[in-house]
A and B are shown apart, each in its own frame.
Chain A
Amino acid sequence: MALLALKEQLNVLLNSMFAEGLLDQQFQQLQMLQDGSSPGFVAEVITLFCEDSERILTELSKLLEQQVVDYQKVDAYVHQLKGSSASVGAQNVKLACAQFRQFYEENNKEGCIRALNVVKHEFYRVRNKFDNMFQLEQRIQAYDAKQQN
């Protein structure tokens, strides 16, 4: 019964992530790619996404701390983050990156700083949910393994 409860918690979590716009159907594409031959595929991709996103957000913060902002570099980093968030289905991060564009196109430093804060907020929001998701999956796998032994 505990296993069922865990699976139900995971379902509720995933459903809420879709309902809140944190995830879109591209995440379902990733889930469909996970199978017996690649049991950790989703975790691998999401881990890569989170690490890369942290790096990009750090670089963006540094760029926007400069007196003279290199908006071309800002563009390149935001483009990269928009692309990878779209690839993993992190919808709100993708949308926040899309909104960012107008500010660096206008060379609007204050606007860029505000937009970066929105991107950070959405990224940390989805990253925390991913952490919860993987913890639940690990507990389910541990339970499954225990029951089989």
Chain B
Amino acid sequence: MDGSTCKVLLVEDNEINRVVVRRLLGELNVRIEEADNGKAAVDFIREGRAYDLILMDKEMPIMDGHEATRQMRSLGVSTPIVALSGNSLQSDRDLFIQAGADDFLSKPLSRGKLAHILAKYGLNHGD
């Protein structure tokens, strides 16, 4: 897949984190949409929006990442969902995988981590 058309949904309530990741993904030639809580992200899916990758934070107001992931999977979303968390505990990872996530990244995110995960899911950028 051509990285210049790759679209990522970032689901993250922390504005500063969104600003940084937005810039990191921009550098990697990725289009980005953002939701500041799990419910907003699920609503995007219900509206028919499609993505090549979803980055899902864990702790968010209104609806957390676990629940948003579960709901997306029950809606038939097969897009890779990468869980984001400030903890790198195995229990955290396990809970997210059980909810339907495909992968896990520990925060803070770096260019290297994002480039790696994009490459892992065949979303190679022009980097």
A residues apposed to B, CB below 8 Å = 26, 29-30, 32-33, 38, 41, 44-45, 48-49, 52, 76, 79-80, 82-84, 86-89
Shortest Cβ-Cβ A-B pairs, 10 listed = A84-B16, A86-B108, A87-B108, A26-B108, A33-B23, A83-B14, A87-B17, A87-B20, A29-B110, A87-B16
Contact: A52 with B15, CB < 8 Å?
yes
Q: A82-B86, A87-B20 are in contact. Are A48 and B15 (CB under 8 A)?
A: yes
B112 to A, closest residue via Cβ: A29
Smallest Cβ distance from A73 to chain B, in angstroms?
11
A31 CB to nearest B CB, Å: 12
Asked whether B23 lies within 8 Å of A38 as measured between CB atoms, the reply is yes
Q: When the two chains form the complex, which single residue of A44, A45, A84, A89 contacts B14, counting CB atoms closer than 8 Å?
A: A84
Residue in B17, B23, B24 whose CB lies within 8 Å of A83: B17
Interface contact A80-B20, CB-CB below 8 Å: no
Q: Shortest Cβ distance from B28 into chain A, in angstroms?
A: 11
Residues of B within 8 A of A89 (CB): 108
State whether A87 touches B23 (Cβ < 8 A): no
Contacting residues, chain B, for A79 (C-beta < 8 A)? 59, 86
Chain B hits for A76, CB < 8 A? 59, 61
Taking CB atoms, residues of chain B closer than 8 Å to A86 are 86, 107-108
Query: For chain B residues 76-120, which have a beta carbon within 8 Å of chain A?
Result: 86, 107-111
Task: Sample 28 A-B pairs with CB under 8 A, ordered by A number.
Answer: A26-B108, A29-B20, A29-B108, A30-B20, A32-B111, A33-B23, A33-B27, A38-B23, A44-B19, A45-B16, A48-B15, A48-B16, A52-B15, A76-B59, A76-B61, A80-B14, A82-B86, A83-B14, A83-B16, A83-B17, A83-B107, A84-B14, A86-B86, A86-B107, A86-B108, A87-B108, A87-B109, A88-B16
